[in-house]
Amino acid sequence: MRLSTRNQLSGTVTEVTVGAVMATVKVRLDGGEQVITASITKEAVEELGLEPGKPATVLVKSTEVMIGVE
C-alpha cells in the first residue's frame, strides 16, 4: 500500500484496551522505548486484528506539529 502520509513509524502493538465503542492501542516504536497511543474504533481493532505482539505502522497526519523542551 502506498500512502501520502510521510510520518510512518514502525513498531509492535503492546496493549489493546477495548471499550463499548472505542479502543486505545499502544505501539512501542522500533529501536527504542517510545510508545505511541492511538484512539480508534472497536470495529477498526477487530478488522485489523490488532493484538499485543503484532507488528504495526503508526501513521501521523496533522495540521500542527508541536515541539517541547525542558
CATH number at residue 45: 2.40.50.100
Q: How confident is the model at residue 2 (pLDDT cuts 50, 70, 90)?
A: confident
DSSP label of 27: E
Q: Which domain holds residue 28?
A: 7-60
The yes-or-no verdict on residue 5 having pLDDT over 90 is: no
**21 found inside a domain:** yes
Reported pTM: 0.85
**pLDDT given for residue 6 in this prediction:** 85
The 10s digit of each residue's pLDDT in 14-56 is: 999 999 999 999 999 999 999 999 999 999 999 999 999 999 9
pLDDT value, residue 56: 97
State CA 18 to chain mean position distance.
14
